[in-house]
Amino acid sequence: MSDPASDKERLDQLRQEIERHNQLYYQAAQPEIPDHVYDGLMQELIALETAHPEWGTADSPSRKLGEQPLAGFETVTHAVPMMSLANTYNKDELVAFDARVRKGIPDTPFRYVLEPKIDGVAVTVRYEQGTLVLAATRGDGRQGDDITRNLRTLDSLPKQLTGAPAPKVLEVRGEVFMPKAGFVTLNQRREELGLSVFANPRNAAAGSLKQLDARVVAERPLEVLFYAAGALDGVLFETHEQMLEAFKSWGLPTHSHYWVGETIDEVLLALDELEQQRHEFPYELDGGVIKVNERAVYETLGYTAKSPRWAVAYKYAPERAETRLRSITIQVGRTGILTPVAELEPVTVAGSTISRATLHNEDEIRRKDIRVGDRVWVEKAGEVIPAVVGVNKEARTGDEQPFAMPDQCPECGHAVTRREGEVALRCENLHCPAQLKQWLRHFASRGAMDIEGLGDVLVDQLVARELVRQPADVYRLTLDDLAGLDRMGGKSAQNVLNSIAASKSRDLWRIIFALGIRHVGARSAQALEARFASIDELVTADQETLEAIDDIGPVVAGSILAFFADARNRSVVDALRAAGVNLTRRADAAPAEGPLSGQTLVLTGALQHMTRDEATARIRALGGQVTSSVSKKTDYVVAGEKAGSKYDKAVKLGVPIIDEAALEELLRAHE
């Protein structure tokens, strides 16, 4: 028999521990433990509370959804409570779930629907007469945060329902998530900037929705899928399947596939099929959701304090493996960021052999107490990036060694620094070989100077042989320099030289982007080109002038000023000038004088009869300017299909909105 005193002590301990993990998961979006470990703690708590009902409390985490409204957002009371689903990792429990359902509605025929379970953030979106009027988080189930402005930035979320006639009120519920590819790109960008990275796509999505500035959300690759309904007026769904098809008819994004089964055995087979397909989905999928299809029986089956009794979530076992951490090495990126990398005994995870995994930064190593020699658990974050997610501390022998980040760059010996507000250490030596390699790859990339043939292998050799010490040296390479390198014949060498020569006359915005100025992407570089006729004008620009440019805010402006304030960076520009690289705006890129001179247009949504580039070129040929952000100075917003947050901002600011047909009429009238 168990000891009541120790049971009570363990129960109190579990409640405190679960509340702490709720704070980390819901509020900070920085969980310390994987879902299956958290679920195990919760199940242990529920078992103790069931065995000792006298210790039950209304505020136990077993009865709460866990998330409280955030400061800075308006609080929304849900017309229909938003509940969570009970979940299990055990198929026997699904059989037991089926037995409870059949007992609850005896002699009533029904079917099940199985849907993929997205690991995202639960939201509700309200449409009135087909128009989006409100979006909110689940919160504590009764109240959530008003995130309407943030969700309006999602291109996949229709602002106006289409197709079939819309009901008077339609509340749809689903998940906001970050696709795996977008998650990888976002983390890579954050690492380059010295910022902390997200542990997985779910945390990235949650952290994004907590942003008070909708412009930040707009830059995140978020999407949404819907699979449930809240308040309804003017529509009645007989089955869950009918509801999903109705969502599609209104233009709402839903799952690409779901299964319908008569028995729990059919559902179990479908779960196995879904598991085989899980890596084919563009988003992270951690299981399946089983629901009774016939909605008429929902009230009969009823609800627990947290969950409906007519649905359950089945979670797949996490795809992780345990292996030994042999050592920790340091990679130096393009911006000088030092990233620790775990060198592992090879292990298979999700069908791939993993021997290296990111450790992100020193803070992550300390938080997880990772030591060289540890037995560690490895997962694929977002099913893409191998990452060390934890340590098997019970396997420690005492020989494991704590790790400390170096105080000097391992590539060049230059002292490393940590900038204010950053978690990463950085090598500030622009001539660091590792940093130079990354810089050259960026400089030669298709989006920058587009130097074909100047890839990883060639860059490594050029830096190793000290033929290139900065980007300008690329333009001094000779046929003899290249022909003597590995895997570089005479013809290949000449092709590279031809591409290098062609890059000298690229647009001004490309060289601005190629310089690698922090926070300056291709779009910002194009905005700078539109304002400044030469690199010299940009170098001498002040903060006020820079901030007055559309797409250039205080952070980007400050980064540009800091870059050109460094004499080493100015010398790079001078060397490029001496090498014959174009540093002025080409005549055909300058705003033309014409009937649209002085007018600014913004394009948003998908155009059907011309590309964005074609529309931009035609507008600029008539003297107009095209920017990517809407302000009071904008003359027209051209709204294509699925217009997003720019459309909403134009409405708010009273900026004229025209469609593609009106744009075509405007252009033809002046061409």
Where are the strands (E) in 75-222, listed by range? 75-77, 87-88, 112-118, 121-128, 131-137, 143-145, 169-177
Cβ atoms of 386 and 377 closer than 8 Å: no
By CB atoms closer than 10 A (0-12, 13-18, 19+), residue 557 is: buried
Sheet containing 121-128, strands listed edge to edge, beginning at the edge strand earlier in sequence: 131-137, 121-128, 169-177, 223-233
> What is the secondary structure of 612-668 as a DSSP string?
HHHHHHHHHHTT-EEESS--TT--EEEE-BT--HHHHHHHHHT--EE-HHHHHHHHH
Q: In this structure, what are the phi and psi dihedrals at residue 248, rounded to the nearest 5 degrees?
A: -60, -40
Transcribe 212-240 into DSSP letters: S-HHHHHTS--EEEEEEEEEEES---SBH
Cα gap 430→446, rounded to integer Å: 22
- Nearest Cα residue to 503 out of 553, 443, 559: 443
Measure Cα distances from 325 to 167, 338, 341, 357, 358 in Å: 57, 19, 10, 10, 12
Distance CA 392, CA 377 (A): 7
Could you give the CA distance from residue 211 to residue 222 in angstroms, rounded to a whole number? 13
Residues 3 and 5: their CA atoms lie apart, in Å, by 5
Which of the following is catalytic: 64, 117, 180, 649? Answer: 117
Active site residue 117: yes
Q: What is the CB neighbour count within 10 angstroms for residue 228?
A: 23
- What is the 8-class DSSP label of residue 130? T
Nearest of 604, 589, 615 to residue 649 by alpha carbon = 604
The four Cα atoms 303, 309, 310, 312 give a dihedral, to 10 degrees, of 130
The three-state secondary structure class of 557 is helix
Residue with structure tokens 């250039």? Answer: 552
Contact (Cβ atoms closer than 8 angstroms) between residue 429 and residue 435: yes
Q: Compute the distance between CA of residue 176 and CA of residue 207 in angstroms, rounded to an integer.
A: 11
The catalytic residue positions are 117
